[in-house]
Amino acid sequence: MTRIKICGITNIDDALMSIDAGADALGFNFVPGTPRYLKDTEAAAKIIEQLPPFITTIGLFVNADPEVIQATADECHLDMLQLHGDESPQFCQAFNRRVIKAVRVKDESSCSHMSDYRVSGYLLDTYVKGEMGGTGVAFDWRIAVKAKQYGRIILAGGLNPDNVASAVQQVRPYGVDVSSRVEASPGRKDPVKVRTFIQNVKEVDREWKQSN
């Protein structure tokens, strides 16, 4: 079954609403200067400590100092790290938590270095010059299908309630990741969009299971 991550969580109401809708994981943004940046790690920790069991919490970082990443992960009790910058394979192995490495997809060559990494999974997002993720722009999903040879693929980049079913049908990824396209405003989720997104993923999964 396709795992579902709702990213850019900034408050406990959105976190619990997303879980109630069926999310498997929540993403917390620790990237300065971005709309969903959680500057106050203590506030992030308070959100996370109120979550129910069996929900995976993931911290997003871009080219951050390893000491900052480790300290934030420890303070917030993050389950996993999602690294969106130019982090090397060696850098990704420096932590006592599992790592998801983000790959900015421009064309097929964008994925050629994935074989160098030993990580839990790869998040494929769309390459946009000057941006490190969360662009809300889709890429050619055929590239994601080919990238599955390197490991578990989490599909991101422009997914929304209207196109996520087609994306899952075409790619059959390990998981999907959404942030801006299920918001009412930056940092605030739209419950209807979140629920519709998740329902559409689960419906495709049910149909696939019945046909196989």
Question: Helix-strand-coil percent breakdown of the chain, rounded to 5?
Answer: 40, 20, 40
d(CA 25, CA 62): 19
Q: What is the DSSP string of 5-44?
A: EE----SHHHHHHHHHHT-SEEEEE--TTSTTB---HHHH
Residue 161 and residue 193 in contact, taking contact as beta carbons nearer than 8 Å? yes
Determine which one of 7, 76, 92, 111 is catalytic.
Answer: 7
d(CA 74, CA 156): 26
Determine which one of 14, 76, 125, 177 is catalytic.
Answer: 125
Which amino acid, 201? V
d(CA 8, CA 37): 8
d(CA 209, CA 184): 33
**Catalytic residue flag (residue 125):** yes
Which residues does the annotation mark as catalytic? 7, 125
